[in-house]
Structure 1
């Protein structure tokens, strides 16, 4: 119990207590989301994005399977009628699956055994241990769209399970993001390939939690791959942002 409290407390301090972070988040996400629009937060964790999006007047669907994180989300947002908390995971198909939980560092809990294996070999994760496993219900992005409508933006932060999440989506979304870790470089490229199969996207990259784009221009897939190749040897993790190119009217 002490380890779980420490892990959640650490996450709350990391994602809610750093001065200026919420302001930077609101500025960045304001490029994608506006009042009354729907945002999907896949892997909501302790709700830092939920908080920023609500500042923008967004209707949030927060999806999170970890029981400890769900308790925090319900404590923070359970009375907000514009926040829907979905206690499930998102994947390629409906069903049930196993989630490897890191009690001390719940932000790296994952449903991807290959991701866990890849990052466990990285020295930056030397102190991380996935010490228990829980069974969770899995739904798809298509299920969420059918229930809550198409989101203006979808954040995907699922520790190496991004391709599975995107495999449960049958049509492109207007904008989204997914996490990039140098230790799992190939998995990020696979997620990029999946996005390319869905639609014509342009991309940008934001290092760690800076909430700033590294490129002044939105890039094609090859341009983004070159950016990730530059950041990979530096160990600079972050988030890939994707924006669908509007279709020209006939």
Structure 2
């Protein structure tokens, strides 16, 4: 809570950064809202936020902070390729890495930075799709996807391009990142940029093609440092 809500400078950086994508009354989807640091920043920009979070502990925080805000919709679900239910693997000590992907757990567990992480319990959660969210809440101006290895499943439930989106890239899960990039490419004519490890700064001054982004991944991969890929539709 101190990391995500107790640092005024960090909050101001988030507001400035996301002001590139969101303005008053824009719709924003936060897929994997955690404890709501993005929700708070997006509301400061005047956006209407759909906060999606299946973790029970995080949901309590979201409801405490935003439950009375009429422009925040909190959904206690996961997002996937189709409606149904799924098993969420929870990490009590490090809830930011709770995930629906057992394959992702197997991949990152081999990396020393995850050596002490334990997924110690599981809960069954309902699953909806991005198409369902668009149908109910309207097309988002921005969609953040941070779901620890389940990004491909999330995007499989989206049948149309959205104006802008982001997804996490982990060098130790490089192949999965390439697969997600391919899915974004299949949705529309996007250009890309990259922000390393919550810095809210661009890795490149100019936006890139998918091929240029893959070249950037080749530079980033040896460092082991994660970050977020941002995609926006090219101006027609």
Q: How does 1:1-250 map to 2 (within 5 A)?
A: 12-247=1-236
Aligned length: 236
Q: Distance in 2 between matches of 1:232 and 1:91?
A: 27
Offset, 1:19:
4.0
Off by >4 Å, runs of 4+ in structure 1: none
Between 16-25 and 100-109, report the one with greater CA deviation.
16-25
Q: Deviations over 1:200-250 (max 9, x none)?
A: 100000001100010001100011111111111101101000001133xxx
Between 226-235 and 102-111, report the one with greater CA deviation.
226-235
Offset, 1:107:
0.4
Q: Deviations over 1:57-82 (max 9, x none)?
A: 11000000001000000000001111
Q: Distance in 2 between matches of 1:93 and 1:20?
A: 39
Q: Distance in 2 between matches of 1:215 and 1:26?
A: 20
Q: CA RMSD in A?
A: 0.7
Q: Distance in 2 between matches of 1:168 and 1:59?
A: 22
Offset, 1:26:
0.7
Q: Secondary structure at the match of 2:135?
A: helix
Q: Distance in 1 between matches of 2:72 and 2:14?
A: 18
Q: Distance in 2 between matches of 1:200 and 1:47?
A: 30
Identify unmatched segments of 5+ residues in structure 2. Answer: none
Q: Distance in 1 between matches of 2:150 and 2:156?
A: 10
TM-score, normalisation: structure 2: 0.99
The aligned residue for residue 3 of structure 1 is none
Q: Deviations over 1:36-88 (max 9, x none)?
A: 11100000000000010011011000000001000000000001111000000
The aligned residue for residue 4 of structure 1 is none
Identify unmatched segments of 5+ residues in structure 1. Answer: 1-11
